Amino acid sequence: MRLDVVTIFPEYLEPLNVSLVGKARTRGQLDVRVHDLREWTHDRHHTVDDTPYGGGPGMVMKPEPWGEALDAVIGSATEQDEAGPALIVPTPSGRPFTQALAVELSQRPWLIFAPARYEGIDRRVMDEYGERLDVYEVSIGDYVLAGGEAAVLVITEAVARLLPGVLGNADSHRDDSFAPGAMASLLEGPVYTKPPEWRGRAIPDVLVSGHHGKIARWRRDEAFRRTASHRPDLIERCDPSSLDKGDRAI
């Protein structure tokens, strides 16, 4: 997969050199290219923003640098990129970023991220590229960040771990909280490892009982309890047929 990020803070994307995403890059599974938006400005001050039409607080990102930058990135396609890119615009006014959207994006060969600072990007940029490619305006949650760069890191990590061969064990994401169909989309319950006792705290006996049926039932109950406590909305909108007799007993 190819990822391009156009930003006024290229150094904000340094974490893409580390951990899972960094390793995927070294292995050649991810081709990440970070670009400085100011390279596509032509004035002495490398201006990327201006005051909003209609008045109001804050500044809006000017369309011209974005247009030149996106044309250059899209125009750098080689034979490998024949499928064409999707444009991801992180914004608090976007559609929610979910595991289902992470799966959809992980199936695309090329993503271009356009994270904004200030009050956002001039609307005409999204309208213009929306006529040529799929544009996803995406929010990572109901809170406001100072810019979209942190959202790029979040979306990239969620997408990269779904790429074939990036996670050591392909089964690792089958039971993820929010995986479609997994555990009826319950949150994951507690996990334990050695030693069997730590600071006077023992692990639950059932986990060393060797009884696989009882272990599965216990895990399901813990997941159900945690979901009911932290995310009752997930249980209210789940498919009732995904709940079993044991769940209903809780």
Residue nearest to ligand 6GU (CB): 90
Distance from chain centroid for Cα 31: 17
Give me the least distance between CB of 55 and ligand 6GU, in Å please.
Answer: 21
The interaxial angle of helices 149-160 and 19-26, nearest 10 deg, is 60
Residues tagged active-site: 92, 119, 161, 176
Give me the least distance between CB of 114 and ligand 6GU, in Å please.
Answer: 11
Contact 147, 116 (CB under 8 A): yes
Q: Which is nearer to ligand 6GU, 155 or 186 (CB)?
A: 155
215 in a known ligand binding site: no
Residues making contact with ligand 6GU (CB under 6 A): 90-92, 138-141, 143-145, 147-148, 151
Assess whether the previous peptide bond of 85 is cis (omega < 30° from 0).
no
84 in a known ligand binding site: no
Give me the least distance between CB of 90 and ligand 6GU, in Å please.
Answer: 3
Q: Which is nearer to ligand 6GU, 22 or 92 (CB)?
A: 92
Burial of 249 (0-12, 13-18, 19+ CB in 10 A): exposed
49 in a known ligand binding site: no
140 in a known ligand binding site: yes
Considering only the C-alpha atoms of the chain, give the largest distance between any 2 of them, rounded to a whole number of Å.
71
163 by DSSP, 3-state: which? coil
Binding residues for S-adenosyl-L-methionine: 140-145
